[in-house]
Amino acid sequence: MAVTCLLELTPGNSFEGFCLVKEVKQEKTKKGDPYLNVTVAKKHKMVACKLWNNGFGGRTVEELLTVFSNGSMLYLTGVASEYNGQVQMTINEFRLAENGEVDVREYIESAPESVESMEAEIRSYIDEIKIPILHQITSELFEDHKKLFMHHVAAVKMHHNFRGGLAYHTLSLLRIAKNICDQYGEAVNRSKMYAALTLHDMGKIIEMTKDFTAPEYTLFGQFLGHIQIVNQMIDRKLVGIRHERSVSIEEVTVVYELMNIISSHHGPLSNGWGSTAEPITLEAHLCHMIDNIDAKINMISKATADMQEGEIQKVWGLGKLYKPREIE
């Protein structure tokens, strides 16, 4: 069966339609023949594709990479098969979309809530930070970077990798934290939680490009990573405050505690997920767990969106996933 919408593509289908290029890699077969690994997408659905050298049409790899570039809109024909439990397409024919031929906005995934409503709600959480120096640092950094922050992706691939994903992920964490703080009262410091979760991924506005059609890691992001970048932002704010007034040792300590929460929000160093310090407070452990919950829910929801009920698929980074049947 032929399909014209990538969202409907399943193994065994042929495809003829438009798609957005998310990633391109030049590879070689065991025999040394060149081919391209291309990831294409529409909204949440991404499909791994192969362009073998017998489909190059006499063009060099360098020429092909001017067509298959991150963020380009293409018209493709191909045949879908199954590989490692996932859809994979072999590309037969291709061309760049002409100006005005297709609306790119129909192919870009965006946060399910408006930028305006998310910004207002994040501000409301910042307003509840009662430790003055944490409130000042958090509110100033949010104001400094809100234009990029509210529209940015939260990841290149793994979770919330869509327009407004960074703000939506941050807001989701704040909502979860509110419920935890309401449940456990004074056992959890609400101000530290809200400050850390608002800022924990802010470094991604520098770590990744602002192009939400096909985001990539920047050079600066590869040098440091978002955790070190945001902690630099926080430390610069602290230095600026100390130039304006006397800062107590207690205030300095709570700022460094904030940086520890952010440094450890990927969990213990032993798990190898990218933390730069061990979590050593209750709030640090909680922020890691909350972050992991929201990331996993987004990843699994996206992976199972196009699965059939009762189906099991192997998903990269998650292992095998089962989509339960609805019970009436």
pLDDT confidence of residue 59: 87
Strands 312-315 and 86-96: unpaired
pLDDT confidence of residue 215: 76
pLDDT band at 3 (very low <50, low <70, confident <90, very high): confident
**pLDDT over 80 at 6, yes or no:** yes
Q: What is the mean pLDDT of residues 70-99?
A: 88
Higher pLDDT, 117 or 221: 117
Please state the separation of Cα 253 from the chain's center in Å: 31
Cα gap 67→288, rounded to integer Å: 41
Please, which residues bridge with residue 38 across strands? 24, 49
Contact 228, 219 (CB under 8 A): no
For the chain, the average pLDDT equals 89
* % of the chain exceeding 90 in pLDDT: 52
pLDDT confidence of residue 158: 63
Encode pLDDT of 232-247 as tens digits. 999 999 999 999 999 9
Structural tokens at position 4:
């014209």
Encode pLDDT of 10-69 as tens digits. 888 899 999 989 889 999 998 898 999 999 988 888 888 999 988 888 888 898 998 888
Cα gap 107→224, rounded to integer Å: 31
Phi and psi at 25, nearest 5°, equal -135, 135
pLDDT confidence of residue 212: 63
Q: CATH 2.40.50.140 in the chain: give the residue spans.
A: 2-107
Contact 190, 182 (CB under 8 A): no
Residue partners of 157: CB distance under 8 A and separation at least 6: none
2-107 homologous superfamily = Nucleic acid-binding proteins (2.40.50.140)
Q: List the one residue out of 274, 263, 289, 130 whose CA is nearest residue 195.
A: 130
pLDDT confidence of residue 327: 83
Cα gap 136→142, rounded to integer Å: 10
| Maximum mean pLDDT: which of 78-82, 156-160, 198-202 | 198-202
pLDDT band at 71 (very low <50, low <70, confident <90, very high): confident
pLDDT confidence of residue 156: 67
pLDDT band at 216 (very low <50, low <70, confident <90, very high): confident
pTM of the entire predicted model: 0.82
Encode pLDDT of 120-176 as tens digits. 999 999 999 999 999 999 999 999 999 999 998 877 666 677 888 999 999 999 999
DSSP state for residue 163 in the 8-state scheme: B
Burial 209-248 (b: 16+ CB within 10 A, else e): beebbbbeeeeebeebbbbbbbbebbeebbeebeeeeeee
Structural tokens at position 173:
């964490």
